[in-house]
Chains A and B, each alone.
Chain A
Amino acid sequence: MSRGHTLQDLLQNGHLLVLCGSGGVGKTTTSAALALAAALAGRKVLVLTIDPARRLLQALGLDDRHMPVNTPLDVLPKQADQLKNWTGTGRLDAMMLDAELGAVAMVERLLPDPILRQRVLTNRIYRAFLPTLAASPDYIALELIANLHEQGHYDLLVLDTPPMHNAVDFLHAGGTLSSFLNERVLKWFAKVPMPGQKSRFSFLGSGASVAMSVLGRLFGQETLPDIAEFFSSFQHVLPRLQQRTEATDRLLRASSTGFVIVTAPGETPRREAAHLHAELREQSMPFAGFIVNRVLSVPAGFDCLELTDPKGHSLTQFLQTAGLSGHVAQALLLASQRLEHLAELDADQVLALRQLAGPLGFATVAAQRDEDLHTLPDLAEFGAALLSAQQDVVVP
């Protein structure tokens, strides 16, 4: 979204919500909860998720078919708060990205001609890299999102970005794709002679022949026809791929898109969140705010006790007046002090993120929970909690 929108605004009016952040911060659960909240508010929503936990899959009714699956919302208890305003018009679909199937589907979309398509799908270079796609589903996810957006079946797309060590890599996927789409380079490869064939292209000059000789030495001469064919088949998809890349880029920067950085307490998530925030700013991507999960907070009434000891007794003595043995009182005190210290560290981190978000971004805090969320009512409750959390947003 354009500057200064709350999480509510985003869910209500946005078209694309991108959740990014380092691994293990609850990104997938948060994506599902926000998508559900938007659906309950009456919008048609698709959440695209990658590698979710099995029980979350079950909650969403998902299997791994790489296609949208509807999540029936009528299983939610009717008395649930979140359902009070439900008009029944909303819809939640969930889809789990499968990188290999996604790659095949992408080739199908880009190459409608069955003969050309078959050439790509049987190409050795393509086949060699297909199984490793699981390691970087970023291209696939971006292309898929652009495609879904174009189809226009949904009001809101929620993208849970791939679990990569470095979340910033995701933002570079589009750029990587465009740099590959260098028409001149593709043409070079398209003209490369097959082995045994006398070169008719000496006028090509050094570029392509150096490239072929290098690649031949790297991968073996016998792979050259495959390499040449890999590129020549891409030439056919060039215009469409180019258009798709531009569309993806436009979509990511649109005013109805919001990037939400999901993070959690801890040194690594904090560093990654700050890094990601800087990167979004640098690339002029629409940053919306932070969601800080698993923040430890001290229960209400906990601090006051420190003040209510009338006689200046030590806290251990104070607990002993409740009839606890000295040893037990000591242990309770020690545990409390340790966790209170952790809660203070968490609070400092949240404060730092609020400052980083600036006056126009939000920093929503979700408390640490004792259980993983894995049922639809759990997710609904979590989504509602996120929306009602204090957000500190200043709209100009």
Chain B
Amino acid sequence: MAKLDRDNPLMEALLDKHVLLITGKGGVGKSTVAAAMARLASERGRRVLLLELESVSRVGPLFGLAAVGPQPQQAADNLWVACLQATDLLRFFAMQQLKIAALVNLALRNRAVDSFFRAVPAIKPILFLYQLWHTEVHHGPAGDRQWDLIVCDLPTSGFAAGMYAIPETLMSVFRFGPVGQYGQGMRQMLVDPRRTGLVLVSLPELLPVTETLELHEMLRARYQVETAAVVINGTMPQALKLGELQQAADKLTGTPHEPWLWAAELLQSRHDRGTQAGERLRQSLPGRVLELPYLLRRSLPLAAIDELAAALLREAP
């Protein structure tokens, strides 16, 4: 792992929170970032739970786990993984309310209840937020928290935006009941920067970065949530220094060797766009930008996750 003396203070601050919410558009590498951050925290000796909302776990296979379900499963030292589906979330919620397993089973087998939960649209983010909040506030008999850090690999930025709307809605719609109180608790957890860190994952291109900034602005304006960090995932290394690339281009253009410029030029143009995008982000969110290098391989074994975890700790350029 990376040396501890020059570690990135931004990353250190993230690892001190209770909950990290990782989100971004589809395909930007949320799961990878979530896994790398969870790995990092667990190696610091913190008890970490990584939550996925998937039908099949993406992170489990990285740690050699065949099947990951709703029960936290140990993936490495200090690191547990759980993968939640709508039915798991519903069972958890029902269990907290009804307390007795037999009653929960009876309730969930009831056709009318089942039908109700199928009918209400988008109940998943509500039940997820409930379970997350409940897990975060739950203390053991000795007053200790169950987990030091819960890392959530959220589906999409649309899901995240919908999730932030939930507490207010519950509070206004169910003003006097228990559900309204849950809404209040959820809101306190989401807006407290010591407890929760929102991490937006983006790509080293201008367009994704623009959209990331729009999401950041929207969440801030509408829900008073501050983005804790933005991760630019997949920045390209330069194959050659600029002068060298120019020299190579001068010598090879028009010769049969010209195709050999292809790779270096492709990497260079990606690198340039990534640099521009990074600058744009750093202007808007100074001190809150992390970069992850593009790994020139297509599958991500555990070694690659560790490589990325180490990169997260390096001081930003």
A contact set with B: CB distance below 8 Å: 22-25, 51, 53-55, 103, 124-125, 127-136, 139, 162-166, 168, 176, 179-180, 182, 184-185, 188-189, 207-208, 210-211, 214-215, 217-223, 227, 231, 234, 264-269, 298-302, 305, 308, 318-319, 322-325, 327-328, 331-336, 338-342, 345, 370, 372, 374
Contacts and interface: CB of A to CB of B under 8 A. Distances in A.
Contacts of A266: 298
A332 B262 CA distance: 9
Given A180-B115, A335-B239, A165 B156 contact: yes
B3 interface: no
Contact of A136 (B28, B124, B214, B262): B124
A266 B31 CA distance: 14
A332 B248 contact: yes
Sort A-B residue pairs by CB-CB distance and give the 5 closest, nearest first. A23-B26, A24-B27, A220-B177, A211-B112, A335-B239
A54 B210 contact: yes
A51 B116 CA distance: 28
Interface in B85-142: 93-94, 97-98, 106-107, 110-113, 115-116, 118-126
Given A124-B173, A132-B122, A168 B55 contact: yes
B196 to A, nearest CB: 19
B316 interface: no
A175 to B, nearest CB: 10
Contact of B123 (A129, A162, A231, A265): A129
A97 to B, nearest CB: 11
Given A336-B263, A370-B269, A127 B124 contact: no
B63 interface: no
Contacts of B260: 302, 305, 319, 332-333, 336
10 contacts: A24-B28, A135-B163, A136-B121, A208-B112, A211-B111, A211-B116, A218-B97, A266-B298, A318-B257, A332-B240
Contacts of B251: 322-324
A103 B264 contact: no
A341 B158 CA distance: 35
Give the interface residue-count category, chain B: 35 or more
Given A302-B262, A322-B251, A128 B55 contact: no
Nearest to A341: B296
Nearest to B159: A135
B165 interface: yes
Contacts of A332: 239-240, 248, 260-261, 263-264
A328 B247 contact: yes
A189 B112 contact: yes
A208 B262 CA distance: 69
A165 B146 CA distance: 28
A267 B112 contact: no
B310 interface: no
Given A132-B166, A163-B26, A372 B207 contact: yes
A135 B124 contact: yes
B131 to A, nearest CB: 14
A325 B28 CA distance: 37
B264 A335 contact: yes
B112 A163 contact: no
Contacts of B106: 210
Given A214-B113, A218-B98, 10 more contacts: A128-B173, A129-B123, A131-B169, A132-B162, A163-B25, A165-B53, A211-B113, A217-B97, A220-B174, A332-B264
Residue among A51, A55, A214, A220 having the largest count of chain B Cβ atoms under 10 Å:
A214
B263 A124 contact: no
B54 interface: yes
Interface in B154-201: 155-156, 158-159, 161-163, 165-166, 169-170, 173-174, 176-179
Interface in B8-25: 25
Contact of A180 (B55, B119, B179, B258): B119
Nearest to A26: B27
A82 B125 CA distance: 44
A173 to B, nearest CB: 10
A332 B27 CA distance: 29
A56 to B, nearest CB: 9
Contacts of A341: 296
A340 B260 CA distance: 11
